[in-house]
């Protein structure tokens, strides 16, 4: 069969046309197809996958489990890259917010590692002294009486005070109560929680160093020896350094985030097209 006869026979077989076209397209596909992207799963990444598994299951993964972890990571990486190539991340509110959070987290992590030293922290402490001041405290002793001392025999009441102030009173004087007999450097809110609202205010009006009263609580009457009143005090930096450092780092985070944003903002020209009927009131509604 000569060449002319062979070509004429091919022309009578449509299937051969499709085969020829498929071969041509396949060849073009191999020529035009972009080179494969390289994915390198480092030793550090594998170790991270193994550590995550260990923290969750409290044991090391088996070889087959580790292979599956690597395969899952590879699947995630490939689909992630393909999703980016298809533009699936664009105009996605959830993804936008997560990326913003990751950008801000970078700045926060940096600020969280900084320690400016005692000189800076001391200045920061003094600049916000009201925030760190210890509240006023009172030190006192009390004796509880279930009867109304003010309405009882005045001679008995005065005798009780004289015995207490002279040191002649029995340690057991007063009625039984679950309240402590002595309070040392106790804040006003704590006092009021145990004796009732307003009890600490009555104590602050008593003379220091002398038994006096009666002072009314929600339980009854009390004779009280007010020993000391400490006004608000700013503690030394050494006592609250960790708290001050945390607050300083929080302020530093806010400052870094703002500076980061303003620096990025310089790279963009922003045009906002507002509707003709736009107003602040419309925006609020």
Count Cβ atoms below 10 Å from residue 188 Cβ, excluding itself: 16
Percent with pLDDT over 90 in the chain: 13
Measured CA to CA, the distance from residue 253 to residue 261 in angstroms comes to 12
Task: Judge residue 234's burial from the number of C-beta atoms within 10 Å of its C-beta, 0-12 exposed, 13-18 middle, 19 or more buried.
Answer: middle
Residue with tokens 């009867």: 147
User: What band does 13 get if pLDDT is binned at 50, 70 and 90?
Assistant: low
Residue 92's Cα: distance from chain center in Å? 26
C-alpha angle 79/80/85, rounded to 5°?
Answer: 95
Strands (E), the chain: 137-145, 182-187, 211-216, 221-230
Half-sphere exposure of 41 (CA within 13 A, CB side): 16
Measured CA to CA, the distance from residue 224 to residue 69 in angstroms comes to 71
Backbone angles phi, psi at 74, to 5 degrees: -60, -45
Quick check: 118 pLDDT over 50?
yes
DSSP designation for 135: P
> Stretch 253-264: mean pLDDT, rounded?
83
Is the pTM for the entire model greater than 0.95? no
The span from the first CA to the last CA of the chain, in angstroms, equals: 87
> Stretch 105-131: mean pLDDT, rounded?
81
Q: What is the pLDDT of residue 18?
A: 52
> Stretch 65-90: mean pLDDT, rounded?
85
Q: What is the pLDDT of residue 53?
A: 92
**Which of 42-56, 199-213, 264-278 bottoms out in mean pLDDT, i.e. has the lowest?**
264-278
DSSP designation for 270: -
Percent with pLDDT over 70 in the chain: 80
Q: Are 204 and 227 in contact (CB under 8 A)?
A: no
């Amino acid at each position: 069969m000569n060449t002319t006869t062979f070509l004429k026979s091919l022309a009578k077989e449509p299937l051969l046309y499709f085969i020829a076209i498929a071969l041509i397209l396949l060849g073009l596909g191999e020529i035009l197809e972009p080179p494969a992207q390289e994915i390198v799963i480092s030793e550090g990444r594998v170790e991270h996958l193994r550590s995550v598994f260990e923290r969750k299951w409290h044991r090391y993964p088996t070889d087959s489990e580790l292979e599956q972890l690597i395969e899952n990571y590879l699947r995630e990486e490939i689909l992630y890259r393909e999703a980016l190539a298809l533009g699936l991340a664009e105009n996605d509110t959830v993804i936008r917010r997560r990326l913003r959070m990751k950008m801000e987290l970078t700045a926060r992590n940096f600020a969280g590692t900084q320690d400016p030293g005692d000189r800076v922290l001391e200045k920061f402490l003094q600049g916000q002294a009201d925030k760190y001041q210890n509240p006023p405290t009172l030190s006192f002793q009390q004796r509880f009486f279930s009867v109304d001392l003010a309405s009882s025999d005045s001679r008995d009441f005065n005798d009780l005070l004289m015995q207490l102030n002279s040191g002649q009173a029995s340690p057991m004087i007063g009625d039984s109560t679950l309240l402590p007999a002595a309070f040392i450097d106790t804040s006003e809110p704590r006092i009021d929680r145990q004796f009732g609202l307003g009890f600490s205010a009555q104590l602050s009006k008593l003379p220091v160093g002398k038994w006096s009263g009666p002072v009314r609580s929600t339980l009854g009457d009390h004779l009280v020896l007010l020993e000391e009143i400490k006004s608000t005090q700013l503690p030394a930096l050494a006592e609250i350094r960790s708290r001050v450092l945390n607050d300083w780092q929080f302020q530093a985070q806010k400052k870094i985030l703002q500076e980061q944003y303003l620096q990025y903002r310089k790279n963009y020209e922003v045009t906002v097209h507002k509707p003709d009927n736009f107003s602040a009131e419309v925006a609020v509604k």
